[in-house]
Amino acid sequence: MSWLWVVLIVVVAVVLAVLVLMPRPAPVLPTVTDNPALPTLSVRGVRLHVQVFGPQGAPVIVVLHGGPGGDHRSLLPLRALGDQYRVVFYDQRGAGLSQRVPDADLTYAAHLEELGALLHHISPDRPATLIGHSWGAILATGYLGAHPDRVDRAILIEPGFLDASGMEIWMAQANRVVRRMLLRPAGLVFLAGTVIGASRLSGPDDDAARDHISARMVHAFANHPDVPYACPSNSYDSPVWRIGARSMSVVPRSVTREMVDAIAAGAGAWPRYGDF
């Protein structure tokens, strides 16, 4: 028997052992489509997972989560602002526990339109405050530049980038971290185990396996030593209900250099820019 056959047999044996011994991954949570108990709001024909805190009639704050494809779970401590404000959290289309939509509806423009429709529903008569984290901060900045009359204040937490040159630097750094993370034996084992675990999931929908893989990848990325999301010697464990894998991959492809540069230009022209 040649050594190639020996290696092949060993690999097959290891894969079978992993399949047999590896515990089944935690189930992927259902979205609003399959869980009627979740609080929802229909915005532009898409059912969004929405939570609202604070008194009716109070000034409105809308919280925009990161991603694309994340959810608002890690930002829920901001509900403490509900003692003075009407605080609205929502999972964006195709993300978190909100309804999954076709790829054609996963664009930067569609997200801006969705935010505008949400604001029109919850605060039709006066501008609102936007709090955005990461991708959510980019989205908030893009919206206030396009609709300055609808935004009273904006708080941007760790925006990834706000112009085309920043986007290119960010993407280069992120791709470098992913290569370092995966192109080593431990990374390949992690990836294989993640894919095998996803294959053992049963539902709740056609996106569940991809969302499981993306959630594992995001967690590993955030904990990589080259990504300073946590203090040295501490792990990053930002909680999520569910990642929207298609949103995470499709939305960035809808953003051009011109669109990103327009974000910075629009923000600079916002009447309240620099008003602290």
For the chain, what is the mean pLDDT? Answer: 89
39 lies in some domain: yes
pLDDT at 22: 61
* CA-based nearest residue to 242, from 213, 199, 200: 213
* Cα–Cα distance, 62 to 192 (Å, whole number): 39
Domain count of the chain? Answer: 1
Strand 60-64 with 86-90, pairing: parallel
* CA-based nearest residue to 167, from 90, 261, 34, 76: 261
pLDDT at 15: 59
Task: Give Rg (Cα) of the chain.
Answer: 21
Which tens digit of pLDDT belongs to each residue from 99-145?
999 999 999 999 999 999 999 999 999 999 999 999 999 999 999 99
Q: What is the largest CA-CA distance in the chain?
A: 79
Which tens digit of pLDDT belongs to each residue from 1-36?
566 666 667 666 665 665 555 667 788 999 999 999
8 lies in some domain: no
CATH number at residue 168: 3.40.50.12270
Q: Does residue 63 contact residue 131 with C-beta atoms inside 8 Å?
A: yes
Mean pLDDT of 216-228: 84
Beta carbons within 8 Å of 39's beta carbon, 6+ residues apart? 49, 50, 51, 52
56 lies in some domain: yes
Q: Does residue 269 contact residue 142 with C-beta atoms inside 8 Å?
A: no
Whose tokens are 């925009």? That residue is 64
Phi and psi dihedrals of 113, rounded to 5?
Answer: -65, -40
pLDDT at 3: 67
* Cα–Cα distance, 244 to 68 (Å, whole number): 8
* Cα–Cα distance, 110 to 93 (Å, whole number): 9
51 lies in some domain: yes
* Cα–Cα distance, 132 to 96 (Å, whole number): 16
Range of the domain at 92: 28-276
pLDDT at 181: 86
Helices (H) and strands (E) in the chain, counts: 8, 6
Tokens encoding 79 = 């509900």
98 lies in some domain: yes
Confidence band, pLDDT 50/70/90 cuts, at residue 193: confident
* Cα–Cα distance, 193 to 217 (Å, whole number): 12
Tokens encoding 128 = 């609102």
Buried b (16+ CB within 10 A) or exposed e, 230-261: eeeeeeeeeebbbbbbbbbebbbebbeeeebb
Beta carbons within 8 Å of 100's beta carbon, 6+ residues apart? 31, 33, 94, 205, 207, 244, 246
23 lies in some domain: no
65 lies in some domain: yes
Q: Which of 111-115, 160-164, 227-231 has the lowest mean pLDDT?
A: 227-231
Confidence band, pLDDT 50/70/90 cuts, at residue 155: very high
**Phi-psi category of 177—alpha, beta or left, where left has phi over 0 and alpha has psi -120 to 50?**
alpha
138 lies in some domain: yes
SS3 51: strand
